């Protein structure tokens, strides 16, 4: 059974019912809605569509709404600008008129205040490199350092520059309101810079009575430097390698990824590795060998999930991309992992109880870890300890918890009704596992559950043999 989860971004290439069905059948666990491009009308159509397909296929599938965040972009151009090294490119703000042949507006009014002469500016995912020559109240003039073509609405990166943008823009707040109305399971915060950004989103979700989990996207050096605060504040961490690879020296990116994955496992938070996993498969039916190695490394590090972006929004082979991730993950998982879970912190009694259950399961061949959980906490603890062999079957009566657990490493979540009698609930789960050929007679099951004794709730570990 595959333990590394797969997140697919939905878009024009994957929005049809037939394609969504194939993606789920091939192994997609979470679908991402990218609000940098998605309209509210489209989201209102796609969310119920995914829910219907997931019910029909019989797999819990979560939805992740990804906010655009405080993105700085160039404005619209009548024609593309052909740039060569030495050219002067001017950025204007607040509707100022360009004073050079090559001039483009910027959507961020504070752009001129935040940059300094000598700063590096990167445009269009780093394809255009510039250095600031001079600036005024409403314009910034830069020297072009690379051959490139500048089109409309290109993303601007300001490495090592603190920008005074809000964590949540008006658009983000409206998008989050839509997501909570439709019951999305995760909300991703783009360009998170400090823990209070996460807390602001948390307050917004609480205000809207949403239990969606927060995914903090690590995309610049400020977030990397305060990674432990990010991990503590968020529910999930995403290594967003697109902007991160622009904001940081590219040779540092593998080290940053490994460090973040290791810290997330140590502190008990799931981690997603995202962006350009199978970039060549946007147009080609087969991945490059380098892409396979990149995916294999993320699986070996035991990241909770891998996320596809353009591969499944615009690519020609979205279903094949999921199949590639699935094949690589299953093979690499058989060869073992990095073992970061040995340093996982056990800070409370429940974590220590789960650690005992995992140790017991690791010592028994062909055992199964069966977790009964109301809010998902016990299953998350189990996942974070990365059991060596035993699959994790998590049973919960809560549909939202069931969907959210689909993102966690190694967890196969199922929704069943809990009975008042614990033995009846366990028997129901055993019957489910046997009926779906997930366990067979003679298998040993290490059961982690809450047991009610009078008015007290007691965490328990049981070892049972499936009859």
316 is catalytic: no
| Active site (annotated) includes residue 217 | yes
Instruction: Out of 59, 139, 217, 380, pick the active-site residue.
Output: 217
Round to whole Å and give the CA distance between 167 and 268: 25
**Helix, strand, coil percentages, rounded to 5, for the chain:** 40, 25, 35
Supply the DSSP symbol for 363. Answer: T
Query: Are 354 and 448 contacting, i.e. CB atoms less than 8 angstroms apart?
Result: yes
CA atoms within 13 A on the CB side of 357: 34
Q: Which residue has the tokens 């062999």?
A: 389
Q: How far is CA 240 from CA 5, 176, 194, in A?
A: 16, 20, 16
CB 51 within 8 A of CB 402: no
φ, ψ for residue 284, nearest 5 deg: -115, 145
- What is the enclosing helix (H) or strand (E) of 123? strand 120-123
DSSP 7-72: EEE-STTT-SHHHHHHHHHHT--EEEEETTT--HHHHHHHHHHHHHHHHHHT---EEEEE---S-E
Phi first, then psi, for residue 323 (nearest 5°) are -60, -40
- Would you mind telling me the total number of residues written for the chain in this entry? 467
Q: Give the 3-state secondary structure of residue 152.
A: coil
* 59 is an active site residue: no
Asked if 32 is an active-site residue, the reply is yes
Q: Which one, of 222, 302, 291, lies nearest residue 257 by Cα?
A: 302
Catalytic choice (5, 22, 26, 73): 73
Kind and range of the H or E run holding 419: none
Q: Which token pair is 464?
A: 């049972």
Q: Could you tell me which residues are beta bridge partners of residue 464?
A: 445
Exactly one of 22, 26, 32, 141 is catalytic; name it: 32
- CA dihedral sign of residues 341, 345, 351, 355: positive
- The answer to whether the CB of 372 falls within 8 A of the CB of 449 is yes
Q: Which structure tokens are listed for 73?
A: 């972009």
Name 407's bridge partners.
none
Cite the active site residues: 32, 73, 217, 275
């Amino acid at each position: 059974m595959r333990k590394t989860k797969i997140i697919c971004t939905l878009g024009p290439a994957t929005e049809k019912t037939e394609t969504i069905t194939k993606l789920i059948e091939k192994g997609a666990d979470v679908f991402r809605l990218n609000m940098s491009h998605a309209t509210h009308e489209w989201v209102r159509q796609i969310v119920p569509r995914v829910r219907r397909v997931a019910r029909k296929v019989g797999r819990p599938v979560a939805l992740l709404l990804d906010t655009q965040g405080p993105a700085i972009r160039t404005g619209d151009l009548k024609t593309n600008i052909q740039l060569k090294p030495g050219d002067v490119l001017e950025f204007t703000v607040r509707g100022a008129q360009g004073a050079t042949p090559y001039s483009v507006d910027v959507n961020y009014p504070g752009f001129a205040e935040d940059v300094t002469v000598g700063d590096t500016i990167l445009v269009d995912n780093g394809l255009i490199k510039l250095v600031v020559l001079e600036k005024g109240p409403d314009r910034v003039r830069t020297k072009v350092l690379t051959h490139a073509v500048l089109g409309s609405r290109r993303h601007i990166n300001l490495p090592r520059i603190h920008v005074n943008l809000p964590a949540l823009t008006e658009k983000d707040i409206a998008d989050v309101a839509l997501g909570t109305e439709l019951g999305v399971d995760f909300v991703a915060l783009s360009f998170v810079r400090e823990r209070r950004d996460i807390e602001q989103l948390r307050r917004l979700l609480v205000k809207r009575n949403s239990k969606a989990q927060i995914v903090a996207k690590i995309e610049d050096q400020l977030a990397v430097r305060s990674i432990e605060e990010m991990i503590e504040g968020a529910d999930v961490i995403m290594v967003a390698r697109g902007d991160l690879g622009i904001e940081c020296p590219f040779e540092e990116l593998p080290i940053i990824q490994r460090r973040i994955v290791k810290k997330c496992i140590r502190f008990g938070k799931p981690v997603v590795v995202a962006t350009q996993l199978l970039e060549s498969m946007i147009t080609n039916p087969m991945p490059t060998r380098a892409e396979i190695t990149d995916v294999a490394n993320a699986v070996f590090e035991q990241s909770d999930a891998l996320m596809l972006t353009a591969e499944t929004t615009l690519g020609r082979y979205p279903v094949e991309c999921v199949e590639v991730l699935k094949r690589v993950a299953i093979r690499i998982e058989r060869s073992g992992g990095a073992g970061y879970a040995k340093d996982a912190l056990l800070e409370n009694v429940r974590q220590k109880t789960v650690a005992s259950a995992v140790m017991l399961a690791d010592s028994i061949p062909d055992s199964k870890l069966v977790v009964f959980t109301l809010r998902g906490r016990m299953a998350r603890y189990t996942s974070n300890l990365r059991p060596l062999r035993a699959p994790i079957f998590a049973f919960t009566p809560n549909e939202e918890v069931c969907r959210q657990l689909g993102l966690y490493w190694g967890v196969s979540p199922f929704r069943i009704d809990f009975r008042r009698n614990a033995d009846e609930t366990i028997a129901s789960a055993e019957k489910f596992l046997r009926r779906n050929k997930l366990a067979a007679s003679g298998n040993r099951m290490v059961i982690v559950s809450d047991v009610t004794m009078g008015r007290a709730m007691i965490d328990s570990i049981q070892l049972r043999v499936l009859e």
